[in-house]
Amino acid sequence: MTSTNHALTALVTGSTRCNGIGLGIAKCLAKNHNMNIILHGTRDGATKEVEKCRGDFAKEYNVSVHYIQADLSTSSGAQQLCEQIDVIYPDGIDVLVNNAGGGHHNLVEDVPLQVWESVLTTNLTSPFVLIKHFITAMKKRGWGRIINISSMFGVRAHAKSAVYTSSKHGLNGLTKAVGKETAGTGVTCNAVCPGYVETELYFKTLEAVVEKDGVSKEEAKTFLMNPTKKLVTPEQIGETVSFLCSRAADNTTAAEFLIDGAHSA
């Protein structure tokens, strides 16, 4: 339950990948709050998989579902996403979930500048562009939720993660600054910081560690595991985001929510 009367609309970036965190979040928001959903991804909306994902979603949850394609590795891509949403929802959106993101596994001296710029733009600059665009209408309405999907790498560093760690630390900093700025306006801004989650990104990281560190898949799995010995699920992240959209979380802002099975303790 939220504190407004109209049907709420949520944008979840990076949300069309099966078993991805983004789709898990979008499903929880539709299921628990009956929110209209804007799905986003890098694929053409006319492709069969994307159209099926959008259609199945709308049928299962009986909410309005749009899909918008945009490349968030450039700030102009993020700007275009905002402009396309303005056409559909001229009064703005109620919930912004900055989920799209990626990483790079390498020693700092082996990170190409182009990779640094692309990951930083996707993980940090694009969330900034989206927040900047949608926050004014949220404040005017006196209610809004901004949730940034960060990582345990947003609070701790590990070797060979300079790009990812820097981007997620930046995202946590942005979260806290926006949370402070909006305190008392009805808008909250929080970061959710998962440990290892069972998604395509996790399996890609596993492969990168096997290839670059010369270890077996089993060794890599032992290393890339939460202390609970269980991978986090996209649904667990979705339910946390869902809580942050509830009235119970009205006073929860500028916070970092670790869901990392005790990794960062």
The residues annotated as belonging to the active site are 164
- 14 SS3 class: coil
> Which range in 106-114, 139-147, 198-206, 239-247 contacts ligand NAD by CB under 6 A?
198-206
Fill in the amino acid letter for 252: T
Q: Is 199 in the site for ligand NAD (CB under 6 A)?
A: yes
Q: Which is nearer to ligand NAD, 93 or 149 (CB)?
A: 149
The residue number with the shortest CB distance to ligand NAD is 101
Task: Name the nearest CA neighbour of 150 among 190, 118, 110.
Answer: 190
Q: How far is CA 131 from CA 18, 118, 128, 179, 204, in A?
A: 26, 19, 5, 11, 29
Contacts of 221 (CB under 8 A, 6+ apart): 206
> Which range in 14-22, 88-96, 109-117, 249-257 contacts ligand NAD by CB under 6 A?
14-22
> Minimum CB separation from ligand NAD for residue 202, in Å?
4
> Which range in 4-12, 18-26, 48-56, 85-93 contacts ligand NAD by CB under 6 A?
18-26
Contacts of 137 (CB under 8 A, 6+ apart): 91, 92, 93, 144
Tokens encoding 21: 């965190």
> Minimum CB separation from ligand NAD for residue 17, in Å?
4
Tokens encoding 168: 């997620």
Q: Is 261 in the site for ligand NAD (CB under 6 A)?
A: no
Judged by the rule CB under 6 A, the positions of this chain that interact with ligand NAD are 14, 16-17, 20-22, 41-42, 71-73, 99-102, 122, 149, 151, 194, 196-197, 199-202
